[in-house]
Structure 1
């Protein structure tokens, strides 16, 4: 990873701001925790405009991946489109990630509320599945 990655992040955010359907940008993982190491990748989550379907999100993800590689001068990144991310992953990013940019605060709040509501609605079932899985593999911690 280039040593100037921290210098490139504001440039990346500035470029992402010019894309109309990019509603919010989060950094998560080691970069959000201030623990970026030479072998770390850059973890970036993007919330697209409300109502973006899966097909459009996939197309946008491919274009955004090219932009990230150009601006960061590395392929060592993970890009997550929050609109289509698994619920538990989206919840964790929203909870622990670092918000770098938001275009429409109301859309972000609505998305966050939806994710938290669904996460909490299904938490009991996830916890039960996790317990059964651990029991099935012989883990009793």
Structure 2
């Protein structure tokens, strides 16, 4: 699913724009995560279908972030900006297993519900605050 989501992102993000793309990808991921949390996790097929759907949309958003992040920094500090963003990503990757472990103690469905809630929150924030870079000259966006 990652390959399909990543390919779809690469082929369409320049046509639809970054804000719309991230909002749709995060919203789609949230829907599948909530379906997974609500399924009761009784059947392996639920995990396969809903988990794959969530992963498809999450992959589409993740690949888009690697395109979008460098566009936000001026050329002269782009490497530093992307490096700092990647450092935050690595820090979150280290902390997230501790957070997930806490929610697993409450029930596995809470893990998926929390991730779905975060995806909804970000899907609401992106259209309000994200800078649209579609069709813009990067030197004018961040001189």
Q: Same fold (TM over 0.5)?
A: no
Could you say which structure has the higher strand fraction?
1
Could you say which structure has the higher helix fraction?
2
Larger RCO: 1 or 2 (CA < 8 Å, sep 6+): 2
TM-score w.r.t. length of structure 2: 0.30
